[in-house]
Amino acid sequence: MLKLHFAPNSRAGRIVWLLEELQLPYEINKMAFHPKDLKSDEHRARHPLGRVPVLDDGDVTIFESGAIVEYILARHKNGGLKPEPDAPVYPAYLQWFHYCEGMVMPPVNTIVVQTVLLPPDRRDETALAQAQRLLAKALQPVNDALEGKDYLIGDFSGADIMLGHACFMSNRLGCVSDDMIHLKAYVARITDRPAFNTAITMQ
């Protein structure tokens, strides 16, 4: 059985969401989002930097949420939630799948650090404002691409697991403006999915 090493309010939520969407059996090792768990010798043996998610599948241990999504889709669902390479939407699938970590999550990470993780006396308002501007710029193409579509490539896919989760986080941080109407509607559609709600209630 698949085993997911998980901590709340992390990218590990993406993997729970995917496993629930695919209705695959799995178990959870739920850890605190705290160095006592994540930086323990036991967890560093799974991930050298003490991060989550990490997935165990028999003799295989794999980390990085995007890599885990690709692994699960390739080995456990025969390409489900992923278009064939010769499909017209395949380039868009790849683009939005990787746009998440390349463009959206770096400013999200900075915003979380500057508003949640650092104590008030160590926060940098200049760094926060810059990250908020970068995130707004990064989200605008996503909003534009969603015009006339329910999901990023039309049908729900692994790209939505990746980028959709990041858009949800951006909205929760108050960084999706009301004029991004397509993105707002997209986040609402995601949050209505039962599998997503199961994943988020574990946070």
CA–CA distance, 143 with 146 (Å, rounded to integer): 5
Burial of 93 (0-12, 13-18, 19+ CB in 10 A): buried
Residues 54 and 133 in one domain: no
Residues 57 and 111 in one domain: no
More confident residue, 56 or 78: 56
pLDDT the model gives residue 79: 67
Residues 99 and 189 in one domain: yes
Mean predicted confidence (pLDDT) in 105-124: 96
Residues 112 and 39 in one domain: no
pLDDT the model gives residue 8: 92
Residues 46 and 102 in one domain: no
136-195 pLDDT tens trace: 999 999 999 999 999 999 999 999 999 999 999 999 999 999 999 999 999 999 999 999
Domain assignment present for residue 202? The answer is: no
Instruction: Tell me: pLDDT of 202 over 80.
Output: no
Domain assignment present for residue 200? The answer is: no
Portion of the chain with pLDDT greater than 90, in percent: 94
Supply the mean pLDDT for the chain: 96
Residues 131 and 178 in one domain: yes
Q: Which domain holds residue 139?
A: 90-193
Domain assignment present for residue 203? The answer is: no
Portion of the chain with pLDDT greater than 70, in percent: 99
Residues 21 and 64 in one domain: yes
Residues 62 and 31 in one domain: yes
55-76 pLDDT tens trace: 999 999 999 999 999 999 999 9
CA–CA distances in Å: residue 177 to residues 93, 110, 127, 163, 168: 25, 18, 20, 17, 13
- Which one of 63, 81, 99 terminates a domain? 81
pLDDT the model gives residue 77: 83
Task: Count up the domains in the chain and report the number.
Answer: 2
116-130 pLDDT tens trace: 999 999 999 999 999
Residues 105 and 184 in one domain: yes
Q: What is the CATH number of the domain that holds 50?
A: 3.40.30.10
Instruction: Tell me: pLDDT of 1 over 80.
Output: yes
